Amino acid sequence: MNKFEELGLGEAIIKAVDAMGFTDPSDIQAKAIPILLNEDTDIVALAQTGTGKTAAFGFPLIEKIDPNSRVTQGLILSPTRELCLQIANELKNYSKFIKGLHTVAIYGGASIQEQARDIKRGAQIIVATPGRMQDMINRKMVNISNIEYCILDEADEMLNMGFYEDINAILSHTPEEKNTWLFSATMPREVATIAKRFMKTPIEITVGHKNTGSKNVSHEYYLVNSRDRYAALKRLADANPDIFSVIFCRTKRDTQKVAENLIEDGYNAAALHGDLSQNQRDLVMKSFRNRQIQMLVATDVAARGIDVDDITHVINYQLPDEIETYTHRSGRTGRAGKSGTSMVIVSKSEVRKIKAIERIIKTTFEKKEIPSGEEICQVQLFHLANDIKKAEINHEIDTYLPSINEVLEDFSKEELIKKFFSVEFSRFHNYYKKAKDLNSVSERDSGRNNDGSIRYFINIGQKDGFDWMSLKDFLKENIGLGREGVNRVDVKENFSFFNTAPEEQEKVLSVFESFDLDGRSVNVEVSKNSGGGRGRRDGGRGRRDGGRGRRNDGGGFKGSRRSDDFKPRRRNNDRNDRNDRGDRSSNDNRRRDRRRRSDRD
């Protein structure tokens, strides 16, 4: 028997489960599904984001709905249009082998008439945002007086968004004797209140610790001077060339500003906030899902609907006012079993908030250093080398090969590599060569940066299965150093950095002189104060837009608002540069232009 069958699910759903490729129920599914199938009860189910709550209520709901009746039997309330659509799509997937079962999503920003028509055709399940639901009830476009199941999904977020009154009003149109299922990532006081108010002796199930963030997320903070916040953000992005991130700001204004600055500086970024029209927001979300946008700068409210797997980093450009909100932010990464990083950029005056958040998430933050320009150059260079290694050869070049060979015939392979990398490298190097240390040195930390310790580069990283803790252990063990012997371990995908005291340098280098890890030679070098970088964002990672915003290679950084703020301008001909690369990039440009124009409105 399949593990989902053991939970009591019927044939049609099992078939759908197979089609979706689910093999094992998640913890919350294993706990909730048998209860909901076998008992008519109210339930409060708490589990972190990304743990499969949709199926935990969706499977039993679909089992219990009568597809032969056209009456609306189930209502799911969800905080945002995004989530609403997502849930409706999931439910359609789950029920694709059940004839006659219809799920309709209703949400703001789309034609209410059309939605009313869809419902009229017969919708046993309605997935709705509270605002639109209220609207449709008032206009008598829906009838929920016979529902048997009401699901409050992401209850904490609905309350955060101020939907308490709407929920209250909507539920007053539903029958007394229904079952209410409440699903939430966290259990703040407000959710407890709602459970008390609207539910009858609910069964409570919890997976993991209440209120804790996802275990797959590591939390880091970076202490900088307030005025260096933006420069620090860029360094964090540059040090993680494959970043796919959500950046949180406190206000719509800051969100817009940071996104604009990033775009201007050649990053694939966009803003998401409430001042954008629904259309604009849809466009942004679409580009984000397609990975045309690597850095989505968002307000907390606008980000609530973001339900995208594979987000590698959440960056708290500013901490939220309510520290509880931090959990929601960091929950955007580390979804569906993947690991993620939540970074916080803080100034001295905010650093105490970190402690308060640690108490809530019951995890400690690691204090990290904003990477130096030199480190970033190294990262980018290595990334470029890997890109080249992975690149598929375009055979159309073959025709030109003889003449290219002729031009380059006098160079050895080594010289060619050096020359090629120099071309790519100089821009980045120029950009970062005068880059200052952005780490704000608190008294407690003073000496930490200039303690004379040696920084090393090692060619193993995440892809070899390391995270900073396991690499630290690995290094301590193999070099033979004590607890504090290895520090500032920074693990990237293909390589890492670490520090030791200067007296250990000889030992470190000799250990790794001929070291073998699963048949691969491990190479350690002292990270030197030389080197440069390449002046591209998004270096050929197959992004659809090919959006290679080149940095100014003239060496000069045009004046910026603040002298200590790096703000290289893209070259004026950048636009042509992009258009030359084909339709897709020019489309993307047009899209950008459109967005920019509307931003000014």
- Contacting residues toward ligand ADP, per CB under 6 A: 22, 24-26, 29, 47, 49-55, 307, 309, 336
Kindly determine how many residues on this chain lie close enough to bind Mg ion according to the rule CB under 5 A: 1
Which of Mg ion, ligand ADP, none has residue 245 at its interface (CB below 5 to 8 Å by kind)? none
Which of Mg ion, ligand ADP, none has residue 6 at its interface (CB below 5 to 8 Å by kind)? none
Edge-first strand order for the sheet with 103-106 is 103-106, 125-128, 74-77, 149-152, 179-184, 43-46, 203-206
CB of 390 to ligand ADP, least distance (A): 27
3-state secondary structure of 496: strand
Which of Mg ion, ligand ADP, none has residue 52 at its interface (CB below 5 to 8 Å by kind)? ligand ADP
Residue with smaller CB distance to ligand ADP, 157 or 238: 157
CB of 255 to ligand ADP, least distance (A): 23
Fill in the DSSP letter of residue 445: G
Residue with smaller CB distance to Mg ion, 183 or 566: 183
Burial code (b: 16+ CB inside 10 Å, e: under 16) for 74-99 equals bbbbbbbbbbbbbbbebbbbbbeebe
Q: Which of 518, 521, 413 is closest to 458 using CA atoms?
A: 521
Q: Which residue is closest to ligand ADP by CB?
A: 52
CB of 29 to ligand ADP, least distance (A): 6
Give the Cα separation of 590 and 291 in Å (integer). Answer: 17
Residue with smaller CB distance to ligand ADP, 24 or 477: 24
**What DSSP string describes 143-171?**
--TT-SEEEETTHHHHHHTT-HHHHHHHH
Residue with smaller CB distance to Mg ion, 53 or 132: 53
Give the Cα separation of 434 and 230 in Å (integer). Answer: 17
3-state secondary structure of 541: coil
Considering only the stretches 53-61, 194-202, 241-249, 414-422, report the one whose residues sit in contact with Mg ion under the rule CB under 5 A: 53-61
Residue with smaller CB distance to ligand ADP, 158 or 489: 158
- Binding residues among 149-178 for Mg ion as defined by CB under 5 A: none
- Binding residues among 388-417 for Mg ion as defined by CB under 5 A: none
CB of 291 to ligand ADP, least distance (A): 16
Which of ligand ADP, Mg ion, none has residue 55 at its interface (CB below 5 to 8 Å by kind)? ligand ADP
Give the Cα separation of 52 and 211 in Å (integer). Answer: 17
Residue with smaller CB distance to Mg ion, 305 or 547: 305
Binds Mg ion (CB under 5 A): choice among 31, 53, 81, 551: 53
Residue with smaller CB distance to ligand ADP, 28 or 270: 28
Which of ligand ADP, Mg ion, none has residue 22 at its interface (CB below 5 to 8 Å by kind)? ligand ADP
Residue with smaller CB distance to Mg ion, 214 or 378: 214
Q: Kindly report the length of the chain.
A: 601
Fill in the DSSP letter of residue 536: B
CB of 517 to Mg ion, least distance (A): 40
3-state secondary structure of 315: strand
3-state secondary structure of 106: strand
* CB-count burial class (<10 Å; 0-12, 13-18, 19+) for 64: middle
CB of 54 to ligand ADP, least distance (A): 3
State the DSSP H helix or E strand holding residue 180, giving kind and residue range, or none if neither.
strand 179-184
Q: Which residue is closest to Mg ion by CB?
A: 53
Give the orientation angle of helix 53-64 with respect to helix 11-20, to 10 degrees: 150
CB of 541 to ligand ADP, least distance (A): 23
CB of 154 to Mg ion, least distance (A): 6
Number of other CB atoms surrounding residue 493 within 10 Å: 17
Residue with smaller CB distance to ligand ADP, 18 or 24: 24
Q: In 333-412, which residue ranges form alpha helices assigned H by DSSP?
A: 351-361, 373-390, 401-408
- 429 lies in the site for Mg ion, by CB under 5 A: no
CB of 136 to ligand ADP, least distance (A): 24
Residue with smaller CB distance to ligand ADP, 4 or 495: 4
Contact status, residue 497 vs residue 488, Cβ threshold 8 Å: yes
Residue with smaller CB distance to ligand ADP, 338 or 353: 338
CB of 83 to Mg ion, least distance (A): 7
Residue with smaller CB distance to ligand ADP, 49 or 186: 49
CB of 213 to ligand ADP, least distance (A): 13
Look-up of token digits 């995908």: 493
Which of ligand ADP, Mg ion, none has residue 51 at its interface (CB below 5 to 8 Å by kind)? ligand ADP
Residue with smaller CB distance to ligand ADP, 204 or 309: 309
Which of Mg ion, ligand ADP, none has residue 255 at its interface (CB below 5 to 8 Å by kind)? none
CB of 37 to Mg ion, least distance (A): 20
The pair of three-digit structure tokens given for residue 292, joined into one six-digit string: 């045309």
Which of ligand ADP, Mg ion, none has residue 373 at its interface (CB below 5 to 8 Å by kind)? none
Instruction: Return all residues near 292 (Cβ < 8 A) that are at least 6 apart.
Output: 268, 543, 544, 545, 547, 588
The partner residues of 149 in beta bridges, in order of sequence, read 74, 179
Which of Mg ion, ligand ADP, none has residue 336 at its interface (CB below 5 to 8 Å by kind)? ligand ADP
Q: Are strands 524-526 and 454-458 parallel, antiparallel or unpaired?
A: antiparallel
* CB-count burial class (<10 Å; 0-12, 13-18, 19+) for 324: middle
CB of 332 to ligand ADP, least distance (A): 10
Burial code (b: 16+ CB inside 10 Å, e: under 16) for 549-573 equals bbbbeeeebeebeeeebbbbbbbee
Contacts with Mg ion, residue ranges (CB under 5 A): 53
